[in-house]
Amino acid sequence: MQTQSSDKAIDTGSFRDHIGIITDDGKRKDIYPKKPKGRFYNARTVFSLALLAFLFGMPLIKIDGHPFMMLNIIERKFIIFGQVFGTHDFFILALGFITFIVSIILFTAVFGRVFCGWACPQTVFLEMVFRKIEFFFEGDYISQKKMNSAPWTAGKIIKKVSKWSIFFALSVLIANTFLAWIIGTDELTHIISDPVSKHVWGFAAMLIFSGMFYFVFAYFREYACIYVCPYGRLQGVLLDKNTTVIAYDYVRGEPRGKIRKSEERTKGDCIDCNACVAVCPTGIDIRNGTQLECVNCTACIDACDNIMDKINKPRGLIRFASENNIRNKSKFKFTAREIAYTFVLLILLSVLTYLISTRKPIDVTILRAPGMIFQEQPDDKISNLYTMKLTNKTFDEVPVTLKLENLNGELKVIGNDIKVGSNDVSETKFLVLLNKNELKTMNIPLEIGLYKNGVKFETKKINFLGPAPQK
């Protein structure tokens, strides 16, 4: 089987018939990736630190006592950069979700799995937190392998127990942060400080998530990307020969072969040192071409660049490039499909920006009560009955008063004073009464002013229906 159509296409052998992390008899093959070293790894470390600061820091930020970010899917209440979004903002949230999906599709079609390698929480935690702790306690891949096959000694027990304890403590911290994003830090503090009997479900969720994170980062690891993640499975549909992925330049590298000092080199630039395979956290050989298991972590780029430096060859034998870039020795180019995706994404982003920027903190709808036209009232007056729906998208309860602004008449609210709770909806009925002799037409425009604590926040224009004026 061959993956590249070129004179120098490489024989991919049987790698597509089996997964690199499974032995021939179907058991899990332990992966011991070598500690990566290089410019991409350093850049990823810095980027991961920024992401971790965002993840752990955001739930702690409050403005006027309210969370700055909260994604409460249970109560369908979302606070994004201090703005409250609820069920009444369903269309904004739905459009935001669609935009997110399209941007992922676009981004993946153009840049492959960059998200997996740089921003996916699984990779960030595994490679930048848990794996670093493992390297600290157990050394690089060779000493890890040796330790795991060695008998249990006091030294091994201390190292393993220390590592597992830190792994579990970190899993508890991640689980708590995850919950803080959903229920907020106040509720989380209650779960932590109150007796367990008061928050049985909250406490259970904390334990389940802690156990789950521990299992994923201490044991399951690359299985999550290869077997569970649906995004990884989508790659076959989203990638094409113009997609930028982490790729081995087989045109330059093949035929591969070891360096022999005594011989003049007639082979390609790949010296078959396996450094790129040794660092791969999913246990693959990128020289076989793009594979489902590759999470674009860039470790193999760094490893190969280090080798190229040593043998005085240009860097980039493994690099970010598309199949067409490598085969045709060309540069990155936008395709018609990518231009179309970008266009759709820009439209969605524009609509979303418009909806968010014109979103009012209090939404008001006033409609004439259904089935009623006008009513005759004592003292030669005519009334219309209206129904007003108020949606409060702020953190505070809002008291509202109404005024008839453009005519002499009366406005009577039916029932109690109007108040609408935080992130809540209220419905109120009110009557507008006008003197019959002021009704010059059957359809009179009215302006209703809405006031919060004496300050007008909106004027609504509605119509008043009256009888036909007498001639």
Between 211 and 257, name the residue whose CB sits nearer to ligand SF4. 257
Select the residue interacting with ligand SF4 from 110, 174, 188, 276 (CB under 6 A).
276
Residue 86 vs 281, nearer CB to ligand SF4 = 281
Closer of 38 and 281 to ligand SF4 (Cβ): 281
Place of tokens 């459009």: 95
Instruction: Find the length of the chain.
Output: 471
Q: How many other C-beta atoms are found inside a 10 Å radius of the C-beta of residue 230?
A: 6
Under the binding rule (CB under 6 A), the answer on residue 239 touching ligand SF4 is no
Q: Rounded CA gap, 163 and 149, in Å? A: 17
| Residue selected from 70, 92, 114, 307 as contacting ligand SF4 according to rule CB under 6 A | 307
Which CB, 131 or 287, lies closer to ligand SF4?
Answer: 287
Determine which residue in the list 295, 382, 433, 439 makes contact with ligand SF4, applying CB under 6 A: 295
| Bridge partner residues of 119 (DSSP) | none
- Using rule CB under 6 A, residue 180 touches ligand SF4: no
Please identify, using beta-carbon distances, which residue of 147 and 273 lies nearer to ligand SF4.
273
**Whole-number Å distance between alpha carbons of 176 and 395:** 24
* Of the candidate residues 183, 191, 206, 284, the single one contacting ligand SF4 (CB under 6 A): 284
280 binds ligand SF4 (CB under 6 A): yes
Q: Out of 317, 326, 366, 434, which residue is the one contacting ligand SF4 (CB under 6 A)?
A: 317
Alpha helices in 119-244 (DSSP H): 121-125, 131-138, 141-149, 154-183, 185-193, 200-215, 222-223, 230-238
Alpha carbons within 13 A on the beta-carbon side of 116:
27
Residue 451's H or E segment, with its range, is: strand 443-452
In sign, the C-alpha dihedral spanning 465, 466, 467, 471 is negative
Interface residue with ligand SF4 among 296, 391, 392, 428 (CB under 6 A) is 296
Q: Which of 431, 429, 443 has the alpha carbon at shortest distance from 383?
A: 431
How far CA 285 is from CA of 1, 318, 327, in Å, comes to 15, 11, 19
126: contact with ligand SF4 by CB under 6 A: no
Our finding on whether 286 is near ligand SF4 (CB under 6 A) is yes
- Which residue among 21, 297, 385, 418 contacts ligand SF4 (CB under 6 A)? 297
**Contact window for ligand SF4 (CB under 6 A) among 192-200, 230-238, 296-304, 354-362:** 296-304
- What string of H, E and C letters represents the secondary structure of 40-98? HHHHHHHHHHHHHHHHHHHHHCEECCEECCEEECCCCEEEECCEEECHHHHHHHHHHHH
**Binding span for ligand SF4 by CB under 6 A among 2-10, 265-273, 323-331, 379-387:** 265-273
Cis amide prior to 255 (ω within 30 degrees): yes
- Kind and range of the H or E run holding 351: helix 336-357
Q: Between β-strands 418-420 and 318-321, what pairing exists: parallel, antiparallel or unpaired?
A: unpaired
DSSP state of 305: H
Q: Which one of the spans 126-134, 258-266, 288-296, 455-463 is the region binding ligand SF4 (CB under 6 A)?
A: 288-296
Report, in Å, the least distance between residue 73 CB and ligand SF4: 31
Q: How far is the CB of 3 from ligand SF4 (least distance, A)?
A: 14
Q: Is 247 in the site for ligand SF4 (CB under 6 A)?
A: no
> From the list 69, 114, 179, 294, which residue makes contact with ligand SF4 (rule: CB under 6 A)?
294
Stretch that binds ligand SF4, among 127-135, 267-275, 405-413, 433-441 (CB under 6 A): 267-275
CB atoms within 10 A of CB 79: 20
Question: Taking CB under 6 A as the rule, does residue 84 contact ligand SF4?
Answer: no
Judged by beta carbon, residue 10 or residue 295, the one nearer ligand SF4 is 295
Shortest CB 226 distance to ligand SF4, Å: 10
Write out the H or E segment, with its range, that includes residue 350.
helix 336-357
Q: Which listed range, 144-152, 167-175, 294-302, 319-327, lies at the site for ligand SF4 (CB under 6 A)?
A: 294-302
Shortest distance, CB of residue 260 to ligand SF4, whole angstroms? 15
Annotate 396-429 with b (16+ C-beta within 10 A) or e (fewer). eebebebebeeeebebeeeeeebebeebeeeebe
Q: For ligand SF4, which residue of 126, 175, 271, 326 counts as binding (CB under 6 A)?
A: 271
Asked if 317 and 308 touch (Cβ cutoff 8 Å), the reply is: yes
Q: Using alpha carbons, list the distances in angstroms from residue 182 to 31, 176, 196, 217.
A: 34, 10, 19, 21
Task: Please state the closest distance from residue 158 (CB atom) to ligand SF4, in A.
Answer: 31
CB nearer to ligand SF4: give 68 or 223: 223
Q: What number of chain residues touch ligand SF4 (CB under 6 A)?
A: 29
The answer to whether 272 contacts ligand SF4 (rule: CB under 6 A) is: yes
300 is an interface residue for ligand SF4 by CB under 6 A: yes
Distance of closest approach, residue 54 Cβ to ligand SF4, in angstroms: 23
CA distance 370 to 409: 22
304 binds ligand SF4 (CB under 6 A): yes
Residues lying near ligand SF4 in the complex (CB under 6 A) are found at: 246, 248, 253, 270-276, 279-282, 284, 286-287, 294-300, 303-304, 307, 317-318
